[in-house]
């Protein structure tokens, strides 16, 4: 089976080598695609060095910071062209533990989408300030309430898909980024009948590097859930 882990990066020079090493330590035969947005800290050139050491690492370089959502969509299209059957979304900053990868792979045997969930069994978040945890938790209650999606963690970014199911979504029409992107993908896949399962994961705050969290990211998601709800109502999804 051809498996691809997509890691979008913006200024992850502190993490990129360690995270790719940690992934290969768990699963030596999968492949990794880094989608880098011309990170000023030189993440892209580190990846090029890594490529010289391991031909399972691929790099898609974009001109500048174009956002997480389009980075993933370009990665998904790359995976489709390359004939990968399973694709993952994963962060570079060690918030997502590579040791969970085998659990995703067993869950995807009977699903189209597997979501790593911080909130399916209580709260599994380590080292986040209380304010941020509450924000994330309420964002999920709000999303579930407005969209009616039966998902406990709709904003998480550790996910696994059958590439086939991604063809049901028009990836070129997705404009959202941040948390909104995660919600939009889940909602569209759910409405198109994808079998979605959640598995519990423990989320740890980024190990190093700078946070990219912003107010815009929150507003984008807050509006998006209403847009999705009305788009679905009027058959415009
Ligand atoms: N290519 C690309 N990657 C991005 C962009 N924004 C964030 N990323 C990457 O996407 C992943 C998740 O972003 P994070 O900044 O960790 O988001 P977060 O976990 O909500 O917040 P912090 O960890 O506090 O920053 C990381 O690997 C980032 O480097 C972007 O605009 N373009
Ligand atoms: Mg992070």
Closest listed residue to residue 187, CA positions, set 135, 113, 121, 109: 113
Instruction: Outline where the chain has alpha helix (H).
Output: 16-26, 43-53, 68-81, 101-107, 130-147, 163-166, 178-191, 215-233
Query: Is the CB of residue 160 less than 8 Å from the CB of residue 104?
Result: yes
CA distance 10 to 209: 10
Pocket of ligand 1 (CB under 6 A): 7-10, 12, 35-37, 65, 67-68, 71, 91-93, 95, 157, 206, 211-213
Between the CA of 94 and the centroid of ligand 2 the distance, in Å, is 8
Closest CA to 154 of 181, 130, 127, 132: 181
Query: How many angstroms from the chain centroid is the CA of residue 216?
Result: 18
Question: Rounded to 5 degrees, what are φ and ψ at 58?
Answer: -120, 155
pLDDT of residue 175: 85
Residues of the chain with pLDDT under 70: none
CB 12 within 8 A of CB 96: no
φ and ψ of 215, to 5 deg: -65, -35
Ligand 1 probe mutation, 35, 181, 212, most atoms within 8 A of CB: 212
Q: Which of 40, 93, 182 for mutating ligand 1's site (highest number of atoms within 8 Å of CB)?
A: 93
Q: Which ligand is nearest the CA of 15, by number? A: 1
Ligand 2 is an ion; its neighbours by CB within 5 Å are 91, 93, 95, 206
- Residue found by looking up tokens 């031909």 in the block: 55
Say if domain 3-233 classifies as CATH 3.90.550.10.
yes
**150 C-alpha to center of ligand 1: Å?**
26
The residue with tokens 């001109």 is 63
Report the 10 Å Cβ neighbour count for 82.
Answer: 14
* pTM, to two decimals: 0.96
């Amino acid at each position: 089976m051809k498996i691809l882990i997509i890691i979008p990066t913006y200024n992850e020079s502190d993490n990129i080598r360690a995270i790719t090493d940690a992934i290969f330590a768990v699963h030596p035969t999968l492949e990794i695609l880094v989608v880098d947005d011309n990170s000023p800290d030189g993440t892209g050139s580190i990846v090029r060095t890594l490529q010289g050491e391991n031909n399972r690492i691929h790099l898609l370089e974009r001109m500048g910071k174009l956002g997480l959502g389009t980075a993933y969509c370009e990665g998904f299209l790359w995976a489709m062209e390359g004939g990968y059957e399973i694709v993952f979304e994963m962060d570079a900053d060690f918030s997502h533990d590579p040791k969970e990868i085998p659990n995703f792979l067993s869950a995807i045997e009977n699903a189209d989408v597997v979501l790593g969930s911080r909130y399916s069994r209580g709260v599994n978040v380590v080292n986040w300030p209380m304010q941020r945890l509450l924000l994330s938790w309420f964002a999920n209650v709000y999303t579930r309430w407005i969209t009616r999606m039966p998902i406990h963690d709709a904003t998480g970014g550790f996910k696994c898909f059958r590439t086939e199911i991604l063809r049901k979504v028009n990836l070129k029409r997705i404009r959202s980024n941040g948390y909104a992107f995660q919600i939009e993908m889940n909602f569209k896949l759910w409405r198109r009948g994808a079998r979605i399962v959640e598995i519990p994961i423990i989320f740890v705050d980024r190990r190093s590097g700078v946070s990219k969290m912003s107010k815009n990211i929150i507003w984008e998601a807050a509006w998006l859930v209403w847009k999705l709800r009305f788009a679905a109502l009027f058959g415009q999804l």
